[in-house]
Amino acid sequence: MTDQSSDSARRKLGAAPGLCGTCVHAKLNETNRGTAYLRCTRAAWDARLPRYPRLPVTTCPGFEPPGFEAPGFEAPGFEAPGREGGDA
Ligand code: SF4
């Protein structure tokens, strides 16, 4: 939610997004009618979250800022130290 088009959409939201404003799971969309809405993409697989959160979101169990890496997560192509050499 940081490019220029999303800045325009953010102004049309009608409410401050709160945590969603800096969350990697937030998707901001503009409608043809000149309004905007925020969709939580994490809600597709996390049943705790609403697909269209009521703004502003002040607490959220799914909030993840940019650059956040969940414990145990390994990016594709990355091998954790000490795991080289296969089964031992
Ligand atoms: S995970 Fe929470 S903070 Fe992130 S977009 Fe969804 S509702 Fe907003």
The residues near 24 (Cβ < 8 Å, ≥ 6 apart) are: 64, 65, 66, 68
- Domain assignment present for 4: yes
pLDDT tens, residue by residue, 19-52: 999 999 999 999 999 899 999 999 999 999 999 9
Establish if 37 belongs to a structural domain: yes
Residue of 6, 24, 48, 63 best suited for mutating to test ligand 1, as the one with most atoms within 8 Å of CB: 63
Residue 29 lies in a domain: yes
Q: Show the domain range for 34.
A: 1-60
Count of domains forming the chain: 1
Give the pLDDT score at 29: 92
Q: Is residue 85 part of a domain?
A: no
H/E run at residue 36: strand 36-40
Whether residue 56 has a cis bond before it, omega within 30° of 0:
yes
In a domain, 65, yes or no: no
Mutational test site, ligand 1, from 13, 48, 49, max ligand atoms within 8 Å of CB = 49
Q: Please check whether residue 72 lies inside any domain of the structure.
A: no
Does 61 have pLDDT greater than 50?
yes
pLDDT given at position 53 = 97
61 CA to centre of ligand 1 in angstroms: 8
Span from the CA of 69 to the centroid of ligand 1 (angstroms): 15
Query: Which has more confidence, 34 or 75?
Result: 34
pLDDT, residue 32, reads: 92
Distance CA 78, CA 10 (A): 35
For residue 80, is it within any domain? no
Is pLDDT above 70 for 88?
no
pLDDT for 11: 83
